[in-house]
Amino acid sequence: MYKYVIKRLLALIPVVLGVIFIIYLILYLTPGDVTATILGTAYTPEAAVQLRDELGLDRPFVLQYFSYVLGLCRGDFGNSYVSGLPVLAQVAARFPNTLLLVAVSMALCTILSIPIGIRSAVRPNSLFSNLTAAFGMVGIALPSFWLGLMLILLFSVYLGWFPSTGSATLKGIILPAITLCASFMATTMRTTRSSMLESLSQDYIRTARAKGVGKHDVIYHHALKNALLPVITVVGMNIGTQMGGSVLTETVFSYPGLGRLLMDGINTRDTPVILGCLVVMALCIGICNLVVDVIFAYVDPRLRSQYVKGGK
């Protein structure tokens, strides 16, 4: 198993390099002069030439790319073009806030969506099942930025229960977490429902019922174990996707996280900040996928036996 984990970790290297290359190329081909943004009112052609030389922006694209990658290998994410501060320090200060937001969002999503999906699958033709199916379709189609604005309008402006701007506090994180988890909750709920319906229609479930196994044991000890595999996949993918989805949510709520830092970097064309945020997000998504694969190996005995026999 440890060999498999090492292989997956090594596979992250080309993924991160590819992400850096694509983003670097997009920013390199974007029209405009970043020195004008940095210098502001102090902009002159001479100052722009000198600044481009100091930042290495006058070098060919390939040299700039490899220079940045070598800096990453040394743990150097570069300095912000706007503030002049090290990017790694800025990312380290914002990343825990985003991690907390994603953790709270995923906790809400998992705690609410899986039981609802199970209940709607057990009674597929009930009013509860129809309502949850409708909620799932609405939740998937609902834009997160619109939902965030509506939550601010209702709970902050009219009711005054929560602050309109997010923060890493109990009250400040509730509205951003609800906004972030809404669509993912709908996806997880629909996946749980579909997987449970498929499991409940299998022959081994009918056999268990014929033997007199109780309804609770049939649902939670027989059907749910096999239905969890696609749910684990969806939950793991949601964690990685929420890292990217946090950009809009953090912008709407002015939440001091990695997504807000990324948006600020995009607005000012701060290339080191943009690359630093995206590199961290790419690593998080890759690690989440690795954790899901390892959980799969422990949940599914067929995969676990393959790892043991193959020595992976």
8 A C-beta contact, residue 254 and residue 165: yes
Q: How far is CA 85 from CA 76, 106, 295, in A?
A: 12, 32, 39
Match 């969506």 to its residue by tokens. Answer: 113
The 10 Å Cβ neighbour count of residue 206 is: 12
**At 299, is the pLDDT very low, low, confident or very high (cuts 50, 70, 90)?**
low
**At 297, is the pLDDT very low, low, confident or very high (cuts 50, 70, 90)?**
low
In eight-state DSSP terms, residue 126 is S
The arithmetic mean of pLDDT across residues 99-116, rounded, is 86
8 A C-beta contact, residue 48 and residue 39: yes
CA torsion 169→174→176→181, rounded to 10°? 130
Per-residue pLDDT, 49: 82
Percent over 90 (pLDDT), the chain: 0
CA distance 257 to 284: 15
Q: Kindly tell me if the per-residue pLDDT of 310 is higher than 80.
A: no
Query: Six-digit token pair at 164?
Result: 């309109």
**At 304, is the pLDDT very low, low, confident or very high (cuts 50, 70, 90)?**
low
Q: Kindly tell me if the per-residue pLDDT of 300 is higher than 70.
A: no
The arithmetic mean of pLDDT across residues 192-209, rounded, is 81
CA distance 108 to 239: 12
Average pLDDT over the chain, rounded to an integer: 80
- Residue-range domains of the chain with CATH: 87-310 (1.10.3720.10)
Per-residue pLDDT, 234: 79
